[in-house]
Chain A
Protein backbone atom coordinates (compact mmCIF):
# COMPACT_ATOMS: atom_id res chain seq x y z
CA UNK A 1 0.00 0.00 0.00
CA UNK A 2 1.27 3.40 -0.94
CA UNK A 3 2.07 6.07 1.65
CA UNK A 4 -0.30 8.72 0.32
CA UNK A 5 -3.39 7.60 -1.51
CA UNK A 6 -6.00 9.72 -3.24
CA UNK A 7 -8.97 7.59 -4.04
CA UNK A 8 -11.70 8.68 -6.46
CA UNK A 9 -11.38 12.25 -5.28
CA UNK A 10 -14.04 14.61 -6.62
CA UNK A 11 -14.80 18.27 -6.03
CA UNK A 12 -17.79 20.32 -7.08
CA UNK A 13 -18.18 24.06 -6.69
CA UNK A 14 -21.93 24.26 -6.93
CA UNK A 15 -22.79 22.58 -10.21
CA UNK A 16 -19.27 22.89 -11.60
CA UNK A 17 -17.04 19.86 -11.25
CA UNK A 18 -13.40 20.91 -10.96
CA UNK A 19 -11.82 17.59 -9.94
CA UNK A 20 -12.99 14.33 -11.48
CA UNK A 21 -12.29 10.79 -10.30
CA UNK A 22 -8.78 11.59 -9.24
CA UNK A 23 -6.71 8.55 -8.27
CA UNK A 24 -3.10 8.64 -7.20
CA UNK A 25 -0.77 6.55 -5.11
CA UNK A 26 2.39 8.17 -3.87
CA UNK A 27 5.20 6.16 -2.36
CA UNK A 28 7.08 7.41 0.67
CA UNK A 29 9.81 9.84 -0.32
CA UNK A 30 8.48 10.31 -3.82
CA UNK A 31 8.44 13.69 -5.58
CA UNK A 32 5.23 14.06 -7.58
CA UNK A 33 4.40 17.02 -9.80
CA UNK A 34 0.93 18.11 -10.82
CA UNK A 35 1.33 19.61 -14.26
CA UNK A 36 -1.43 21.20 -16.26
CA UNK A 37 -2.79 24.39 -17.76
CA UNK A 38 -4.40 27.13 -15.70
CA UNK A 39 -7.72 26.20 -14.15
CA UNK A 40 -7.34 22.43 -14.50
CA UNK A 41 -7.77 21.82 -10.78
CA UNK A 42 -4.19 21.42 -9.55
CA UNK A 43 -4.51 23.85 -6.68
CA UNK A 44 -7.92 22.49 -5.72
CA UNK A 45 -6.57 18.95 -5.49
CA UNK A 46 -3.59 20.09 -3.45
CA UNK A 47 -5.81 22.08 -1.10
CA UNK A 48 -7.96 19.03 -0.50
CA UNK A 49 -4.86 17.15 0.62
CA UNK A 50 -3.92 20.08 2.86
CA UNK A 51 -7.43 20.23 4.27
CA UNK A 52 -8.39 23.71 3.08
CA UNK A 53 -11.07 22.29 0.81
CA UNK A 54 -13.40 19.41 1.56
CA UNK A 55 -13.73 16.81 -1.18
CA UNK A 56 -17.27 16.29 -2.42
CA UNK A 57 -16.49 12.57 -2.43
CA UNK A 58 -13.54 10.24 -2.31
CA UNK A 59 -10.90 9.61 0.28
CA UNK A 60 -7.37 10.74 1.09
CA UNK A 61 -5.24 8.36 3.11
CA UNK A 62 -1.85 8.93 4.63
CA UNK A 63 -0.16 5.79 5.90
CA UNK A 64 -3.51 4.00 5.77
CA UNK A 65 -5.37 6.60 7.83
CA UNK A 66 -8.20 8.53 6.22
CA UNK A 67 -7.53 12.22 6.84
CA UNK A 68 -10.54 13.79 5.10
CA UNK A 69 -12.22 14.42 8.46
CA UNK A 70 -9.15 16.01 10.04
CA UNK A 71 -8.85 19.78 10.22
CA UNK A 72 -5.85 21.33 8.44
CA UNK A 73 -4.04 21.97 11.72
CA UNK A 74 -4.32 18.30 12.70
CA UNK A 75 -2.88 16.86 9.50
CA UNK A 76 0.82 17.54 9.93
CA UNK A 77 1.24 18.54 6.31
CA UNK A 78 3.75 21.19 5.29
CA UNK A 79 2.63 23.78 2.77
CA UNK A 80 4.57 26.28 0.69
CA UNK A 81 2.63 29.03 -1.07
CA UNK A 82 3.28 30.99 -4.22
CA UNK A 83 3.19 34.23 -2.24
CA UNK A 84 5.61 32.91 0.46
CA UNK A 85 3.09 33.79 3.22
CA UNK A 86 5.76 34.41 5.85
CA UNK A 87 4.40 35.96 9.03
CA UNK A 88 5.45 39.62 8.70
CA UNK A 89 5.52 40.20 12.46
CA UNK A 90 7.96 37.39 13.17
CA UNK A 91 11.66 37.12 12.43
CA UNK A 92 13.00 34.44 10.12
CA UNK A 93 13.93 32.25 13.08
CA UNK A 94 10.51 32.75 14.71
CA UNK A 95 8.83 31.94 11.41
CA UNK A 96 10.75 28.71 11.07
CA UNK A 97 10.13 27.80 14.70
CA UNK A 98 6.44 28.73 14.64
CA UNK A 99 5.07 25.23 14.05
CA UNK A 100 7.17 23.74 16.84
CA UNK A 101 6.27 26.54 19.21
CA UNK A 102 2.59 25.94 18.53
CA UNK A 103 3.22 22.27 19.31
CA UNK A 104 4.86 23.38 22.60
CA UNK A 105 8.22 21.78 21.94
CA UNK A 106 10.99 22.70 24.40
CA UNK A 107 12.89 25.83 23.52
CA UNK A 108 16.24 24.08 23.16
CA UNK A 109 14.78 21.69 20.62
CA UNK A 110 13.19 24.53 18.67
CA UNK A 111 16.43 26.50 18.58
CA UNK A 112 18.38 23.48 17.40
CA UNK A 113 15.88 22.66 14.66
CA UNK A 114 15.68 26.27 13.49
CA UNK A 115 19.45 26.38 13.24
CA UNK A 116 19.53 23.11 11.35
CA UNK A 117 16.80 24.27 8.94
CA UNK A 118 18.44 27.61 8.25
CA UNK A 119 21.62 25.68 7.52
CA UNK A 120 19.83 23.38 5.09
CA UNK A 121 18.37 26.28 3.12
CA UNK A 122 21.73 28.03 3.08
CA UNK A 123 20.75 31.10 5.13
CA UNK A 124 22.39 30.36 8.50
CA UNK A 125 22.96 34.02 9.40
CA UNK A 126 19.60 35.55 8.60
CA UNK A 127 17.63 34.25 11.59
CA UNK A 128 17.21 37.69 13.15
CA UNK A 129 15.87 39.40 10.05
CA UNK A 130 12.27 40.20 9.31
CA UNK A 131 10.68 38.89 6.11
CA UNK A 132 10.59 42.33 4.49
CA UNK A 133 14.37 42.44 4.73
CA UNK A 134 14.75 39.39 2.46
CA UNK A 135 14.67 38.94 -1.29
CA UNK A 136 11.90 36.89 -2.87
CA UNK A 137 14.13 33.86 -3.30
CA UNK A 138 15.28 34.04 0.30
CA UNK A 139 11.72 34.41 1.53
CA UNK A 140 10.64 31.32 -0.35
CA UNK A 141 13.55 29.37 1.10
CA UNK A 142 12.50 30.44 4.59
CA UNK A 143 8.94 29.38 3.79
CA UNK A 144 10.30 25.99 2.78
CA UNK A 145 12.30 25.71 6.01
CA UNK A 146 9.22 26.69 8.01
CA UNK A 147 7.15 23.98 6.35
CA UNK A 148 9.88 21.37 6.86
CA UNK A 149 10.62 22.28 10.48
CA UNK A 150 7.48 20.52 11.73
CA UNK A 151 8.73 17.32 10.06
CA UNK A 152 5.52 16.93 8.10
CA UNK A 153 4.37 13.63 6.67
CA UNK A 154 3.80 15.25 3.31
CA UNK A 155 5.11 18.47 1.80
CA UNK A 156 2.88 20.42 -0.59
CA UNK A 157 4.15 23.21 -2.82
CA UNK A 158 1.82 25.32 -4.95
CA UNK A 159 3.79 27.01 -7.73
CA UNK A 160 6.44 28.09 -5.24
CA UNK A 161 8.75 29.53 -7.87
CA UNK A 162 6.40 31.37 -10.18
CA UNK A 163 6.78 34.71 -8.39
CA UNK A 164 10.56 34.65 -8.88
CA UNK A 165 12.66 35.63 -11.87
CA UNK A 166 14.00 33.06 -14.26
CA UNK A 167 17.53 32.72 -12.94
CA UNK A 168 16.61 32.14 -9.29
CA UNK A 169 13.85 29.86 -10.42
CA UNK A 170 16.30 27.48 -12.04
CA UNK A 171 18.76 27.43 -9.16
CA UNK A 172 16.08 27.14 -6.49
CA UNK A 173 14.50 24.32 -8.45
CA UNK A 174 17.50 22.06 -8.03
CA UNK A 175 17.94 23.23 -4.45
CA UNK A 176 14.39 22.20 -3.52
CA UNK A 177 14.90 18.85 -5.19
CA UNK A 178 18.18 18.29 -3.35
CA UNK A 179 16.63 19.14 0.04
CA UNK A 180 13.66 16.91 -0.71
CA UNK A 181 15.92 13.98 -1.54
CA UNK A 182 18.14 14.59 1.45
CA UNK A 183 15.21 14.56 3.87
CA UNK A 184 13.36 11.86 1.94
CA UNK A 185 10.10 13.71 2.29
CA UNK A 186 7.01 12.78 0.30
CA UNK A 187 6.26 15.79 -1.86
CA UNK A 188 3.56 17.08 -4.19
CA UNK A 189 4.61 19.99 -6.34
CA UNK A 190 2.12 21.99 -8.38
CA UNK A 191 3.36 23.77 -11.47
CA UNK A 192 2.33 24.77 -14.94
CA UNK A 193 5.96 24.90 -16.06
CA UNK A 194 6.76 21.65 -17.87
CA UNK A 195 10.50 22.15 -17.62
CA UNK A 196 10.17 22.36 -13.85
CA UNK A 197 8.04 19.23 -13.72
CA UNK A 198 10.28 17.25 -16.07
CA UNK A 199 13.51 18.16 -14.33
CA UNK A 200 12.45 17.73 -10.70
CA UNK A 201 9.96 14.92 -10.46
CA UNK A 202 10.04 11.22 -9.85
CA UNK A 203 6.63 11.07 -11.44
CA UNK A 204 4.37 13.61 -13.10
CA UNK A 205 0.59 13.80 -13.05
CA UNK A 206 -0.58 15.63 -16.14
CA UNK A 207 -3.95 17.16 -15.36
CA UNK A 208 -6.54 18.30 -17.83
CA UNK A 209 -9.99 19.63 -17.00
CA UNK A 210 -9.96 18.16 -13.52
CA UNK A 211 -8.76 14.72 -14.56
CA UNK A 212 -5.40 13.02 -14.28
CA UNK A 213 -4.74 12.33 -17.96
CA UNK A 214 -1.51 10.48 -17.38
CA UNK A 215 0.68 9.53 -14.46
CA UNK A 216 4.23 8.55 -15.25
CA UNK A 217 7.93 9.27 -15.02
CA UNK A 218 9.15 12.33 -16.90
CA UNK A 219 10.62 10.06 -19.61
CA UNK A 220 7.35 8.19 -20.01
CA UNK A 221 5.35 11.40 -20.16
CA UNK A 222 7.62 12.89 -22.77
CA UNK A 223 8.26 9.84 -24.91
CA UNK A 224 4.98 8.01 -24.61
CA UNK A 225 2.20 10.50 -23.97
CA UNK A 226 -1.04 8.65 -23.41
CA UNK A 227 -3.47 11.22 -24.77
CA UNK A 228 -3.47 13.93 -27.35
CA UNK A 229 -3.64 16.50 -24.64
CA UNK A 230 -0.56 15.21 -22.84
CA UNK A 231 1.28 14.93 -26.13
CA UNK A 232 0.46 18.51 -27.02
CA UNK A 233 1.02 20.00 -23.59
CA UNK A 234 4.42 18.53 -22.77
CA UNK A 235 7.11 19.59 -25.18
CA UNK A 236 6.64 20.49 -28.84
CA UNK A 237 4.82 17.85 -30.77
CA UNK A 238 4.10 17.57 -34.47
CA UNK A 239 0.76 16.13 -35.42
CA UNK A 240 -0.38 15.01 -38.85
CA UNK A 241 -3.94 13.89 -39.38
CA UNK A 242 -4.24 10.51 -41.06
CA UNK A 243 -6.39 7.48 -41.58
CA UNK A 244 -5.71 3.83 -40.75
CA UNK A 245 -5.40 1.89 -43.99
CA UNK A 246 -4.37 -1.52 -42.72
CA UNK A 247 -4.30 -1.94 -38.97
CA UNK A 248 -2.79 -5.42 -39.02
CA UNK A 249 0.29 -4.28 -40.93
CA UNK A 250 0.44 -0.79 -39.50
CA UNK A 251 -0.26 1.10 -42.67
CA UNK A 252 -1.46 4.68 -42.32
CA UNK A 253 -2.21 7.29 -44.96
CA UNK A 254 -1.19 10.75 -43.83
CA UNK A 255 -0.39 13.92 -45.73
CA UNK A 256 -1.05 12.12 -49.00
CA UNK A 257 1.66 9.57 -48.30
CA UNK A 258 1.54 6.00 -47.16
CA UNK A 259 3.48 5.25 -44.01
CA UNK A 260 4.41 1.77 -42.86
CA UNK A 261 4.70 1.81 -39.09
CA UNK A 262 5.59 -1.86 -39.00
CA UNK A 263 3.44 -2.68 -36.02
CA UNK A 264 -0.09 -3.71 -35.31
CA UNK A 265 -2.42 -0.79 -34.55
CA UNK A 266 -5.24 -0.83 -32.05
CA UNK A 267 -7.45 1.36 -34.17
CA UNK A 268 -9.60 -0.34 -36.77
CA UNK A 269 -9.32 0.25 -40.48
CA UNK A 270 -10.70 3.54 -41.69
CA UNK A 271 -10.59 5.42 -38.39
CA UNK A 272 -8.95 8.80 -38.41
CA UNK A 273 -5.93 9.17 -36.18
CA UNK A 274 -3.19 11.68 -35.51
CA UNK A 275 0.39 10.74 -36.10
CA UNK A 276 2.55 12.53 -33.56
CA UNK A 277 6.29 12.91 -33.26
CA UNK A 278 8.86 15.20 -31.66
CA UNK A 279 10.76 17.72 -33.81
CA UNK A 280 14.04 16.03 -32.93
CA UNK A 281 12.79 12.60 -34.10
CA UNK A 282 12.37 13.70 -37.71
CA UNK A 283 15.51 14.08 -39.82
CA UNK A 284 16.54 14.90 -43.34
CA UNK A 285 17.80 12.27 -45.77
CA UNK A 286 16.93 8.64 -46.24
CA UNK A 287 17.91 6.13 -43.62
CA UNK A 288 17.48 2.40 -44.00
CA UNK A 289 14.94 0.86 -41.66
CA UNK A 290 13.09 4.13 -41.21
CA UNK A 291 9.94 5.54 -42.72
CA UNK A 292 10.60 7.72 -45.74
CA UNK A 293 8.64 10.90 -46.35
CA UNK A 294 8.90 13.84 -48.67
CA UNK A 295 8.20 17.43 -47.83
CA UNK A 296 8.97 20.99 -48.77
CA UNK A 297 10.88 23.33 -46.50
CA UNK A 298 8.79 26.36 -45.55
CA UNK A 299 10.98 28.19 -43.04
CA UNK A 300 14.51 27.88 -41.71
CA UNK A 301 15.60 29.29 -38.35
CA UNK A 302 19.26 29.16 -37.48
CA UNK A 303 19.50 29.00 -33.67
CA UNK A 304 23.22 28.29 -33.34
CA UNK A 305 23.60 24.72 -32.20
CA UNK A 306 20.23 23.77 -33.59
CA UNK A 307 18.61 24.45 -36.94
CA UNK A 308 14.85 24.53 -36.64
CA UNK A 309 12.89 24.08 -39.84
CA UNK A 310 9.24 24.14 -40.69
CA UNK A 311 8.48 21.50 -43.28
CA UNK A 312 5.30 21.16 -45.24
CA UNK A 313 4.16 17.54 -45.50
CA UNK A 314 1.07 17.23 -47.64
CA UNK A 315 -0.36 20.52 -46.39
CA UNK A 316 0.53 20.18 -42.71
CA UNK A 317 3.46 22.12 -41.31
CA UNK A 318 5.70 20.25 -38.90
CA UNK A 319 8.81 21.28 -37.02
CA UNK A 320 12.12 19.59 -37.58
CA UNK A 321 15.22 20.13 -35.44
CA UNK A 322 18.66 19.18 -36.61
CA UNK A 323 22.07 19.84 -35.16
CA UNK A 324 24.25 22.32 -36.94
CA UNK A 325 27.45 20.91 -38.39
CA UNK A 326 30.24 23.08 -39.68
CA UNK A 327 30.61 22.74 -43.43
CA UNK A 328 27.08 21.52 -44.02
CA UNK A 329 24.91 23.70 -46.22
CA UNK A 330 21.98 25.45 -44.68
CA UNK A 331 18.79 24.24 -46.35
CA UNK A 332 16.71 26.88 -48.07
CA UNK A 333 13.02 27.56 -47.97
CA UNK A 334 11.29 26.07 -50.99
CA UNK A 335 13.62 23.06 -51.30
CA UNK A 336 12.06 19.66 -51.60
CA UNK A 337 13.56 17.31 -49.06
CA UNK A 338 13.54 13.66 -48.26
CA UNK A 339 12.74 12.99 -44.62
CA UNK A 340 12.86 9.95 -42.43
CA UNK A 341 11.70 8.94 -39.01
CA UNK A 342 12.08 5.76 -36.98
CA UNK A 343 8.75 3.91 -36.78
CA UNK A 344 9.07 3.68 -33.00
CA UNK A 345 9.14 7.47 -32.71
CA UNK A 346 5.75 7.87 -34.33
CA UNK A 347 2.81 7.82 -31.92
CA UNK A 348 -0.63 6.96 -33.17
CA UNK A 349 -3.17 8.94 -31.18
CA UNK A 350 -6.85 8.15 -31.32
CA UNK A 351 -9.43 10.56 -30.01
Chain B
Protein backbone atom coordinates (compact mmCIF):
# COMPACT_ATOMS: atom_id res chain seq x y z
CA UNK B 1 0.00 0.00 0.00
CA UNK B 2 2.61 2.40 1.22
CA UNK B 3 4.89 1.32 -1.54
CA UNK B 4 2.30 2.00 -4.24
CA UNK B 5 1.86 5.46 -2.82
CA UNK B 6 5.61 6.05 -2.97
CA UNK B 7 5.76 4.92 -6.58
CA UNK B 8 2.78 7.07 -7.41
CA UNK B 9 4.37 10.16 -5.95
CA UNK B 10 7.61 9.44 -7.77
CA UNK B 11 5.88 8.97 -11.11
CA UNK B 12 3.88 12.12 -10.61
CA UNK B 13 7.06 14.05 -9.83
CA UNK B 14 8.86 12.70 -12.87
CA UNK B 15 5.92 13.51 -15.15
CA UNK B 16 5.56 16.96 -13.65
CA UNK B 17 9.18 17.61 -14.46
CA UNK B 18 9.60 15.72 -17.72
CA UNK B 19 6.39 16.54 -19.57
CA UNK B 20 6.96 20.26 -20.08
CA UNK B 21 10.56 19.52 -21.02
CA UNK B 22 9.42 16.92 -23.46
CA UNK B 23 6.83 19.25 -24.90
CA UNK B 24 9.35 21.99 -25.31
CA UNK B 25 11.94 19.73 -26.91
CA UNK B 26 9.33 18.25 -29.21
CA UNK B 27 8.15 21.71 -30.23
CA UNK B 28 11.68 22.94 -30.85
CA UNK B 29 12.20 20.12 -33.33
CA UNK B 30 8.98 20.81 -35.28
CA UNK B 31 9.93 23.92 -37.20
CA UNK B 32 9.61 22.09 -40.50
CA UNK B 33 6.07 20.96 -41.05
CA UNK B 34 5.43 17.23 -40.64
CA UNK B 35 9.00 16.10 -39.85
CA UNK B 36 11.40 16.55 -36.98
CA UNK B 37 14.37 18.72 -37.84
CA UNK B 38 17.09 20.77 -36.20
CA UNK B 39 16.15 23.85 -38.21
CA UNK B 40 15.35 25.93 -35.13
CA UNK B 41 18.69 24.99 -33.60
CA UNK B 42 20.63 25.80 -36.75
CA UNK B 43 18.88 29.14 -36.90
CA UNK B 44 19.68 29.97 -33.32
CA UNK B 45 23.27 28.77 -33.39
CA UNK B 46 24.13 30.58 -36.59
CA UNK B 47 22.58 33.82 -35.42
CA UNK B 48 25.50 36.24 -34.85
CA UNK B 49 23.62 37.89 -32.00
CA UNK B 50 23.41 34.53 -30.26
CA UNK B 51 27.14 34.05 -30.63
CA UNK B 52 27.92 37.55 -29.41
CA UNK B 53 25.61 37.54 -26.41
CA UNK B 54 26.56 34.02 -25.42
CA UNK B 55 30.28 34.65 -25.53
CA UNK B 56 29.76 37.92 -23.68
CA UNK B 57 27.91 36.09 -20.91
CA UNK B 58 30.50 33.32 -20.75
CA UNK B 59 33.21 35.91 -20.35
CA UNK B 60 31.27 37.70 -17.65
CA UNK B 61 30.77 34.37 -15.91
CA UNK B 62 34.48 33.64 -15.96
CA UNK B 63 35.34 37.04 -14.49
CA UNK B 64 32.57 36.72 -11.92
CA UNK B 65 33.90 33.34 -10.85
CA UNK B 66 37.46 34.61 -10.53
CA UNK B 67 36.30 37.63 -8.58
CA UNK B 68 34.01 35.51 -6.42
CA UNK B 69 36.76 33.01 -5.57
CA UNK B 70 39.20 35.78 -4.71
CA UNK B 71 36.59 37.39 -2.51
CA UNK B 72 34.98 34.37 -0.87
CA UNK B 73 37.84 31.94 -0.22
CA UNK B 74 40.02 34.32 1.82
CA UNK B 75 36.95 35.68 3.61
CA UNK B 76 35.52 32.32 4.57
CA UNK B 77 39.01 31.15 5.58
CA UNK B 78 39.63 34.19 7.73
CA UNK B 79 36.26 33.99 9.40
CA UNK B 80 36.82 30.35 10.23
CA UNK B 81 40.34 30.92 11.48
CA UNK B 82 40.22 34.20 13.35
CA UNK B 83 36.64 35.16 14.09
CA UNK B 84 34.45 32.09 14.40
CA UNK B 85 32.04 34.13 16.50
CA UNK B 86 31.31 36.29 13.44
CA UNK B 87 30.25 33.32 11.34
CA UNK B 88 26.47 33.58 11.84
CA UNK B 89 26.68 37.27 10.95
CA UNK B 90 28.70 36.69 7.79
CA UNK B 91 26.40 33.84 6.83
CA UNK B 92 23.42 36.14 7.21
CA UNK B 93 25.01 38.75 4.98
CA UNK B 94 25.79 36.21 2.29
CA UNK B 95 22.16 35.12 2.35
CA UNK B 96 20.82 38.62 1.75
CA UNK B 97 20.97 38.40 -2.07
CA UNK B 98 18.35 35.67 -1.84
CA UNK B 99 15.84 38.04 -0.27
CA UNK B 100 16.79 41.30 -1.95
CA UNK B 101 15.51 41.30 -5.54
CA UNK B 102 18.08 41.83 -8.25
CA UNK B 103 16.13 44.82 -9.48
CA UNK B 104 16.62 46.59 -6.16
CA UNK B 105 20.34 45.96 -6.29
CA UNK B 106 20.65 47.22 -9.82
CA UNK B 107 18.61 50.36 -9.15
CA UNK B 108 20.82 50.97 -6.16
CA UNK B 109 23.87 50.63 -8.37
CA UNK B 110 22.49 53.00 -10.96
CA UNK B 111 21.66 55.59 -8.33
CA UNK B 112 25.04 55.32 -6.66
CA UNK B 113 27.28 55.08 -9.69
CA UNK B 114 25.47 57.13 -12.35
CA UNK B 115 27.28 59.61 -14.56
CA UNK B 116 26.77 62.48 -12.13
CA UNK B 117 27.93 60.56 -9.05
CA UNK B 118 31.31 60.54 -7.32
CA UNK B 119 32.23 57.29 -9.08
CA UNK B 120 30.57 57.38 -12.52
CA UNK B 121 30.89 53.70 -13.35
CA UNK B 122 27.92 53.65 -15.67
CA UNK B 123 29.60 56.29 -17.80
CA UNK B 124 31.87 53.84 -19.58
CA UNK B 125 31.46 50.35 -21.03
CA UNK B 126 34.22 48.91 -18.84
CA UNK B 127 32.71 50.54 -15.78
CA UNK B 128 29.28 49.13 -16.54
CA UNK B 129 30.73 45.69 -17.16
CA UNK B 130 32.49 45.95 -13.83
CA UNK B 131 29.25 46.91 -12.15
CA UNK B 132 27.45 44.01 -13.79
CA UNK B 133 30.15 41.63 -12.59
CA UNK B 134 29.78 42.90 -9.02
CA UNK B 135 26.05 42.35 -9.36
CA UNK B 136 26.54 38.79 -10.61
CA UNK B 137 29.01 38.10 -7.80
CA UNK B 138 26.41 39.32 -5.32
CA UNK B 139 23.79 37.02 -6.78
CA UNK B 140 26.08 34.01 -6.58
CA UNK B 141 27.39 34.88 -3.11
CA UNK B 142 25.00 32.64 -1.13
CA UNK B 143 25.98 29.58 -3.17
CA UNK B 144 29.67 30.36 -3.39
CA UNK B 145 30.07 31.14 0.29
CA UNK B 146 28.16 28.10 1.41
CA UNK B 147 30.10 25.80 -0.90
CA UNK B 148 33.47 27.12 0.23
CA UNK B 149 32.52 27.14 3.89
CA UNK B 150 31.39 23.53 3.66
CA UNK B 151 34.65 22.67 1.93
CA UNK B 152 36.63 24.32 4.72
CA UNK B 153 34.78 22.27 7.28
CA UNK B 154 36.32 19.07 5.92
CA UNK B 155 39.86 20.18 6.79
CA UNK B 156 41.43 21.25 10.06
CA UNK B 157 41.99 24.83 8.98
CA UNK B 158 43.68 26.04 12.16
CA UNK B 159 46.22 23.24 12.52
CA UNK B 160 47.06 23.12 8.81
CA UNK B 161 47.63 26.86 8.90
CA UNK B 162 49.94 26.58 11.87
CA UNK B 163 51.82 23.70 10.29
CA UNK B 164 52.35 25.74 7.13
CA UNK B 165 53.36 28.81 9.11
CA UNK B 166 55.96 26.91 11.09
CA UNK B 167 57.37 25.76 7.75
CA UNK B 168 57.83 29.37 6.73
CA UNK B 169 54.74 29.94 4.57
CA UNK B 170 53.17 33.39 4.26
CA UNK B 171 49.41 34.01 4.23
CA UNK B 172 49.34 34.16 0.44
CA UNK B 173 51.24 30.87 0.17
CA UNK B 174 48.97 29.18 2.68
CA UNK B 175 45.88 30.30 0.79
CA UNK B 176 47.18 29.39 -2.63
CA UNK B 177 48.99 26.15 -1.84
CA UNK B 178 47.09 24.63 1.06
CA UNK B 179 43.64 26.11 1.50
CA UNK B 180 42.52 26.60 -2.10
CA UNK B 181 43.60 23.15 -3.36
CA UNK B 182 41.82 21.51 -0.45
CA UNK B 183 38.54 23.29 -1.12
CA UNK B 184 38.89 23.14 -4.89
CA UNK B 185 36.01 20.74 -5.37
CA UNK B 186 33.77 22.99 -3.30
CA UNK B 187 35.01 26.06 -5.16
CA UNK B 188 34.29 24.43 -8.51
CA UNK B 189 30.78 23.46 -7.54
CA UNK B 190 30.24 27.06 -6.47
CA UNK B 191 31.75 28.16 -9.76
CA UNK B 192 29.37 26.07 -11.86
CA UNK B 193 26.37 27.41 -10.00
CA UNK B 194 27.72 30.90 -10.61
CA UNK B 195 28.12 30.06 -14.28
CA UNK B 196 24.54 28.90 -14.56
CA UNK B 197 23.28 32.01 -12.78
CA UNK B 198 25.25 34.40 -14.97
CA UNK B 199 24.23 32.70 -18.21
CA UNK B 200 20.53 32.98 -17.41
CA UNK B 201 20.45 36.33 -15.60
CA UNK B 202 18.12 38.89 -17.16
CA UNK B 203 17.28 41.79 -14.85
CA UNK B 204 20.72 43.24 -14.18
CA UNK B 205 22.02 42.88 -17.70
CA UNK B 206 18.86 44.38 -19.18
CA UNK B 207 18.75 47.36 -16.84
CA UNK B 208 22.43 48.07 -17.26
CA UNK B 209 21.89 47.64 -20.99
CA UNK B 210 24.62 45.09 -21.59
CA UNK B 211 24.40 42.64 -24.53
CA UNK B 212 24.11 39.51 -22.38
CA UNK B 213 22.52 36.15 -23.11
CA UNK B 214 19.55 36.63 -20.77
CA UNK B 215 18.10 39.69 -22.51
CA UNK B 216 18.73 38.00 -25.87
CA UNK B 217 16.64 34.99 -24.81
CA UNK B 218 13.89 37.31 -23.68
CA UNK B 219 13.98 39.24 -26.94
CA UNK B 220 13.88 36.10 -29.01
CA UNK B 221 11.05 34.68 -26.90
CA UNK B 222 8.94 37.75 -27.52
CA UNK B 223 9.36 37.67 -31.30
CA UNK B 224 9.75 34.09 -32.51
CA UNK B 225 7.94 30.79 -32.17
CA UNK B 226 10.31 27.83 -32.49
CA UNK B 227 13.68 29.40 -31.75
CA UNK B 228 12.98 30.22 -28.08
CA UNK B 229 12.15 26.60 -27.43
CA UNK B 230 15.41 25.52 -29.03
CA UNK B 231 17.24 28.13 -27.00
CA UNK B 232 15.64 26.91 -23.80
CA UNK B 233 16.75 23.35 -24.56
CA UNK B 234 20.26 24.61 -25.20
CA UNK B 235 20.23 26.52 -21.92
CA UNK B 236 19.03 23.39 -20.16
CA UNK B 237 21.78 21.35 -21.69
CA UNK B 238 24.35 23.87 -20.49
CA UNK B 239 23.01 23.78 -16.95
CA UNK B 240 23.02 20.01 -16.88
CA UNK B 241 26.51 19.90 -18.29
CA UNK B 242 27.57 22.13 -15.40
CA UNK B 243 26.01 19.76 -12.90
CA UNK B 244 27.69 16.82 -14.56
CA UNK B 245 31.00 18.64 -14.37
CA UNK B 246 30.56 19.17 -10.63
CA UNK B 247 30.18 15.42 -10.22
CA UNK B 248 33.12 14.71 -12.47
CA UNK B 249 35.41 17.16 -10.75
CA UNK B 250 34.72 15.82 -7.31
CA UNK B 251 35.77 12.45 -8.63
CA UNK B 252 38.99 13.39 -10.35
CA UNK B 253 40.68 15.05 -7.39
CA UNK B 254 43.20 12.47 -6.26
CA UNK B 255 43.75 13.18 -2.62
CA UNK B 256 40.13 12.99 -1.56
CA UNK B 257 39.40 9.71 -3.24
CA UNK B 258 39.31 7.40 -0.26
CA UNK B 259 38.43 9.85 2.43
CA UNK B 260 35.58 8.97 4.64
**Contact surface of A with B, Cβ cutoff 8 Å:** 50-52, 71-79, 81, 83, 85-90, 98-99, 102-103, 130-133, 143, 146-147, 150
Contacts and interface: CB of A to CB of B under 8 A. Distances in A.
Contacts of B257: 132
Main secondary structure of the interface of B (DSSP, over half): helix
B73 to A, nearest CB: 14
A77 B168 CA distance: 9
Interface in B15-50: none
Interface string B181-210: 110000000000000000000000000000
B9 interface: no
B91 interface: no
B255 A72 contact: no
B165 A73 contact: yes
> Which of A73, A89, A130 is the most central at the interface, judged by chain B CB atoms within 10 Å of its CB?
A89
Contacts of B160: 85, 87
A102 B169 contact: yes
B247 interface: no
B255 A50 contact: no
Contact of B259 (A102, A132, A143): A132
A146 B163 CA distance: 10
B166 interface: yes
Interface string B143-163: 000000000000110011011
Contacts, number: 77
A85 B162 contact: yes
A77 B169 contact: no
A83 B166 contact: no
Nearest to A149: B167
Contacts of A133: 258
Contact of A99 (B167, B181, B256, B258): B167
A102 B167 contact: yes
Contacts of A85: 156, 159-160, 162-163
B173 interface: yes
Contact of B255 (A83, A88, A103): A88
A79 B170 contact: no
Contacts of A86: 163
A76 B168 contact: yes
Contact of A87 (B164, B166, B168): B164
Given A79-B163, A85-B163, A88-B255, A73 B156 contact: no
A13 to B, nearest CB: 15
Contacts of B164: 87, 98
Interface in B213-260: 254-259
Contacts of B166: 50-51, 72-73, 75, 77-79, 147
Given A99-B167, A103-B168, 10 more contacts: A81-B163, A85-B162, A88-B256, A98-B164, A102-B167, A102-B170, A130-B255, A133-B258, A147-B167, A150-B167
Given A88-B255, A89-B178, A130-B255, A102 B159 contact: no
Contacts of A73: 165-170
Contact of A89 (B163, B165, B167, B182): B182
A74 B256 CA distance: 31
Nearest to B260: A132
What 6 A-B pairs have minimum CB-CB distances, sorted nearest first?
A99-B167, A79-B166, A89-B181, A85-B163, A72-B165, A85-B159
A108 B32 CA distance: 67
